[in-house]
């Protein structure tokens, strides 16, 4: 039971990171019906920006806790701003000119943008892994195991608490933004009918650009959380995390924000439990197999809505 609890904590933490990235996929698809395959690499760029800022400012775990928290908040804000600029640039240069083209053209462009971002980071930052010393060490010990020391020790680290809390707050905040604000209403209107939304006075181009900016900002948060949790990044993490997050978005129901988070949590739990109880080499096989089984019986995903064809 102790081992199960530890794997559950690890799975929820990993799934929270996947969920943050998956929200960017599902937001873009919900409005323009396009899969932004460069989104995973925006996440990678965000993690590198965070690492550069942490090193440049000399942030270490030896700082007083209040100063460390303030420094990380500053890094997060600057990283979100700079990564959002990257997201806006990709949309403005790579996607907007092809918005009225056939559906395959933006897909090819997205793959090209992904490769371009990967190679840019590889050339500018090098191909080697970039390590980071733990900034938030320590945590809580939930169970000590047996009295003879033979049991399993269950630990909940401060970094895991941070990831889960930040993900929960952002999920609640973005749900309120979509449901309660004028920008959210504009996004939902563009999702239903972009042409009619434009006729009603909504700036469709601005709404789509802001959607890319919001998705990139969330990816930047996920990038910082990934860096703090694992302590090492490279130029290729965007591809792997992007594929997992896209899988999570499809599993939960592409176009649904709660579905994206639910899919991220499920993918994280499946990977973690499979690695803990079976073979770590086949964790990806398990995740994609579950996706295939779900889509066979629920083609729209767990929380997705069936698409209605207009006559």
Q: Is 305 among the domain residues?
A: no
Question: For residue 145, what pLDDT is reported?
Answer: 65
Q: Measured between alpha carbons, how far is 56 from 38 in angstroms, rounded to an integer?
A: 27
**Long-range contacts of the stretch 182-191 (C-beta < 8 A, 24+):** 183/207, 183/210, 187/27, 187/30, 187/31, 187/211, 190/31, 190/32, 191/30, 191/31, 191/255
Is residue 307 situated within a structural domain? no
Other beta carbons within 10 angstroms of residue 206's beta carbon come to: 11
Predicted confidence band at 86 (pLDDT cuts at 50, 70, 90)? Answer: very high
Whether 119 is covered by a domain: the verdict is yes
Could you give the C-alpha distances from 132 to 56, 66, 159, 189, 286, in angstroms and in order? 13, 20, 14, 43, 30
**Residue range 157-164: mean pLDDT, rounded:** 93
* DSSP secondary structure letters along 128-140: S-EE---SS--EE
pLDDT in tens, 220-265: 999 999 999 999 999 999 998 988 999 999 999 888 888 999 999 9
292 in any annotated domain = yes
92 in any annotated domain: yes
Read off the pTM: 0.91
Among candidates 230, 195, 310, 176, which has minimal Cα distance to 10?
A: 230
Question: Does an H or E element contain 142, and which?
Answer: strand 139-143
Task: Examine residue 91 and state whether it is found in any structural domain, yes or no.
Answer: yes
pLDDT greater than 70 at residue 149: no
Q: What was the pLDDT predicted at 7?
A: 93
Kindly report the CATH number assigned to the domain that includes residue 51: 1.10.3470
Instruction: Say whether pLDDT at 148 is over 90.
Output: no
Residue 306 domain-assigned (yes or no): no
Whether residue 160 lies inside any domain: the answer is yes
How many structural domains does the chain have? 1
Give the residue from 39, 50, 171 showing the smallest Cα distance to 110: 39
Whole domain around residue 161: which residue ranges?
A: 2-141+152-297
Q: What pLDDT is stored for residue 210 in this prediction?
A: 92
SS3 of 11-76: HHHHHHHHHHHHHHHHHHHHHHCCCCCCHHHHHHHHHHHHHHHHHHCCCCCCCCHHHHHHHHHHHH
| Residue 37, pLDDT score | 86
Helix (H) or strand (E) holding 308: none
Answer whether residue 147 shows pLDDT above 70: no
| 97-143: pLDDT as tens digits | 888 777 788 888 988 999 999 999 999 999 899 999 989 988 888 88
Q: What is the mean pLDDT of residues 61-83?
A: 93
Task: Say which residue the tokens 């081992």 belong to.
Answer: 3
pLDDT at 15 over 90: yes
Mean pLDDT of the chain: 89
User: What pLDDT score does 142 carry?
Assistant: 83
Which is nearest to 226 in space by CA: 6, 42, 81? Answer: 42
Identify the pLDDT of residue 310.
Answer: 54
Average pLDDT over residues 189-195: 87
């Amino acid at each position: 039971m102790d081992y199960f609890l530890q794997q559950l904590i690890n799975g929820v933490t990993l799934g929270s990171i996947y969920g943050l990235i998956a929200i960017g996929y599902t937001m873009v698809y919900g409005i323009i019906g396009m899969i932004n395959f460069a989104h995973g690499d925006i996440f990678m760029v965000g993690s590198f920006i965070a690492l550069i800022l942490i090193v440049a400012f000399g942030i270490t775990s030896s700082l007083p806790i209040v100063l460390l928290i303030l420094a990380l908040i500053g890094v997060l804000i600057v990283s979100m701003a700079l990564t959002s600029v990257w997201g806006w640039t990709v949309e403005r240069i790579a996607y907007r000119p092809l918005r009225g083209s056939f559906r395959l053209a933006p897909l090819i462009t997205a793959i090209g943008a992904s490769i371009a971002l990967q190679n840019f980071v590889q050339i500018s930052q090098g191909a080697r892994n970039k390590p980071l010393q733990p900034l938030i060490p320590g945590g809580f010990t939930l169970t000590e195991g047996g009295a003879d020391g033979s049991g399993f020790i269950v630990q909940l680290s401060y970094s895991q608490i941070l990831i889960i809390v930040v993900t929960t707050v952002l999920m609640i905040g973005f749900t309120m933004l979509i449901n309660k604000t004028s920008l959210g209403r504009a996004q939902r209107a563009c999702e239903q009918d972009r042409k009619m939304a434009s006729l009603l006075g909504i700036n469709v181009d601005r709404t789509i650009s802001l959607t890319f900016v919001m998705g990139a900002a969330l990816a930047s948060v996920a990038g910082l959380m990934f860096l703090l949790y694992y302590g090492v990044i490279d130029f290729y993490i965007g591809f792997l995390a992007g594929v997992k997050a896209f899988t999570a978005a499809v599993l939960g129901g592409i176009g649904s924000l709660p579905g994206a988070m639910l899919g991220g949590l499920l993918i994280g739990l499946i990977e973690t439990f499979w690695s803990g109880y079976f073979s770590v080499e086949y964790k990806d096989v398990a995740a994609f197999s579950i996706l295939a089984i779900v889509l066979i019986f629920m083609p729209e995903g767990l929380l997705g809505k069936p698409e209605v064809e207009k006559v």
